[in-house]
Amino acid sequence: MTSPATAISRTVRVDLGDRSYDILIGPGLIATAGAEISARLKGRRVAVVTDEHVAPIYLEPFMGSLAQSGIEAVSQILPAGEKTKSFEHLMTVCDGVLGARIERNDAVVALGGGVIGDLTGFAAGIVRRGSRFIQVPTSLLAQVDSSVGGKTGINSRHGKNLIGVFHQPDLVLADTDVLDTLSPREFRAGYAEVAKYGLIDKPDFFAWLERNWRDIFSGGPARIEAIATSCQAKADVVAADERENGLRALLNLGHTFGHALEAATEYDSARLVHGEGVSIGMVLAHQFSARMNLASPDDARRVEAHLAEVGLPISMNAIPGGLPSAEVLMDAIAQDKKVKAGKLTFILTRGIGQSFVADDVPASEVLAFLKEKQPR
C-alpha cells in the first residue's frame, strides 16, 4: 500500500498472516493520521481514548486530522497513570465505545502511552467480541514496546497485567514529534525497554546505545533509529511466537522483579513507573545470573553503569517510601504469568545480549537474593 503521508521515516511490518500490520514511525504522523487510517479502515467512524495529559496537547489536532479525511470520531479522556488500568476504567471505555455505536469495522483508537494502549486494546478485544484497533503511541515506551504485539490488559489486586487478552492492532502510528513534550522521567523510563532489546540478544545494539544515548535523548537522528530497531526486534519475536509459548518470554527480561516492585508500590506512578521497574529488574536479573554463576559480574556492572548513566534507577534503594519484605515480594512473583506448575520462570543471562528463559528457578535462591538486595 502506498502511504498518504510524506513525512514517514520508517515502516516496520509485523508479519502475522492475515492479521499483519504496519508500524509507521516518523515526524508529523498526527497531522496525517486521518489519511493513514482512512486508507486502511473499512468503516468511517472511530472512538478515540486518551488521557488527561495527552488530550490538551494532541487530541484536537488528531481529531482535526480525522475530520479532514471524513472520519467521524468521538473521544474519551481518562485519568493519567498506572491506576487507570482497572476494571472501572475498562467499563468506562467499553460503555463509551458501545454508546457511540462503534461497529466492528469501525475502530477503537488508543492515543497515549502504554496505560491507554493496554486498557483500550483490551476494550477493543472484548467489545462486540473483537473490534478493530489502532495504536497511536505517544510515549517512548509505547512507541518501542507496548503498541506492538497485541498484549492488552489491566492490573488486578492480585498483580500486574493479570487480566487481559491478546488482540493485535490493525495499525500503529508512532509520531516521533510528540516525544518532545514527554517528561524527562517518562522518556528515561521508555529507554529502559529500548536497552532491553540489546540485553536480550543484540549486544551490538547495546554497545551502540552506550555510544549514542545522548543523541537519542536530545532528539537527534539516533532517536528514530533506536525506535525502529526496537520495533523490528519486537516484531520479529511476536511474528515467531505471538502468544508467548516460548521465545516471546524473552521480552519479559527484568519484568518478573519489575512487576513485583510495581505491585509492591501499589501502582503509584509517583513512586515507580513501569520502565523504572524494568530498569531495576534488568539489573537484578543480571546480578542474580552472576550469583548463579551463569554470567560474569562484570556484565551486571556494565548494565548498571549504562542505566545509571542515563539517569534510571538501578536498585530497590532508589524507590521512595519503603518496600515490603522479601517474602511479600516473593508472593507477588508467584503470581507471574510465566509460573508453570508452581515453578518460577525467570529470564536470566549468560552475558550482555545472551538472555535465556530459565524454567524451574529455585524460589529459595530468589528469596535469599532478594533479602541481600532489600533496602536497609
Ligand X SMILES: NC(=O)c1ccc[n+]([C@@H]2O[C@H](COP(=O)([O-])OP(=O)(O)OC[C@H]3O[C@@H](n4cnc5c(N)ncnc54)[C@H](O)[C@@H]3O)[C@@H](O)[C@H]2O)c1
Ligand Y SMILES: O=C(O)C(=O)C[C@@H](O)[C@H](O)[C@H](O)COP(=O)(O)O
275 binds, among ligand Y, ligand X, none (CB under 5 to 8 A by kind): ligand X
Provide the 8-state DSSP code for 107: E
Residue 106 interacting with ligand Y (CB under 6 A): no
- Binding site annotation covers 138? yes
Work out whether the CA dihedral 155, 159, 160, 165 comes out positive or negative.
negative
Q: Is 112 in the site for ligand X (CB under 6 A)?
A: yes
- Using CB under 6 A as the binding rule, whether residue 117 contacts ligand Y is answered as no
CA 254 vs CA 46, 140, 180, 269: distances in Å: 36, 18, 27, 18
Number of residues that bind ligand Y (CB under 6 A): 11
Under rule CB under 6 A, residue 142 binds ligand X: yes
Contact region with ligand X (CB under 6 A), list: 65-73, 143-151, 204-212, 218-226: 143-151
Under a CB-based contact definition with an 8 Å cutoff, are residues 171 and 207 in contact? no
Between the CA of residue 359 and those of 48, 198, 249, 339, 362, what are the distances in Å?
40, 22, 11, 9, 9
H/E run at residue 349? strand 344-349
| CB of 331 vs ligand Y, minimal distance in Å | 17
3-state secondary structure of 77: strand
Q: Could you give the CA distance from residue 376 to residue 371 in angstroms, rounded to a whole number?
A: 10
CB of 269 to ligand Y, least distance (A): 15
Does the footprint of ligand Y cover residue 149 (CB under 6 A)? yes
- The least distance separating ligand Y from the CB of residue 332, rounded to whole angstroms, comes to 12
Binding residues for ligand X, how many (CB under 6 A)?
A: 31
Segment (H or E) for 357: strand 355-361
Q: What's the closest the beta carbon of residue 248 comes to ligand Y, in angstroms? A: 5
| Residue 182 or 290 having the CB closest to ligand X | 182
Distance CA(8)–CA(175), nearest Å, equals 9
141 binds, among ligand X, ligand Y, none (CB under 5 to 8 A by kind): ligand X
Site for ligand X in 157-196 (CB under 6 A): 161, 178, 181-182, 186, 189-190
Which of ligand Y, ligand X, none has residue 111 at its interface (CB below 5 to 8 Å by kind)?
none
Least CB distance to ligand X at residue 112 (A)? 6
The footprint of ligand X on residues 251-280 (CB under 6 A) is 273-275
Lookup: cell for 278: 524494568
Q: What are phi and psi of 206, to 5 degrees?
A: -60, -45
- Pick the stretch among 99-107, 243-251, 282-290, 341-349 that binds ligand Y (CB under 6 A): 243-251
User: Does position 222 bind ligand X by CB under 6 A?
Assistant: no
Distance CA 122, CA 164 (A): 6
- CB neighbours of residue 76 within 10 Å: 21
What end-to-end distance do the CA atoms of the chain give, in Å? 58
x/- site string to ligand Y, residues 154 to 193, per CB under 6 A? -------x-------------------------------x
The Cα 37–Cα 56 span in angstroms is 22
The reply, when asked if residue 319 is annotated as ligand binding, is no
Q: How many CA atoms lie within 13 A of 126 on its CB side?
A: 17
Please identify every residue annotated as catalytic: 129, 151, 193, 234, 244, 248, 252, 255, 259, 274
- CA 240, CA 44: separation in Å to the nearest integer? 33
Q: Which is nearer to ligand Y, 106 or 186 (CB)?
A: 186
Q: C-alpha dihedral over 333, 334, 335, 340, to 10 degrees?
A: 120
In the complex, minimum distance from the CB of residue 101 to ligand Y, in angstroms, rounded to a whole number: 31
Interface with ligand Y (CB under 6 A): 145, 149, 151, 161, 193, 244, 248, 251-252, 255, 337
Binding positions are 114-118, 138-139, 151, 160, 193, 255, 274
Interface with ligand X (CB under 6 A): 51, 53-54, 80-82, 85, 112-116, 118, 138-139, 141-142, 145-146, 149, 151, 161, 178, 181-182, 186, 189-190, 273-275
Binding positions for Zn(2+) are 193, 255, 274
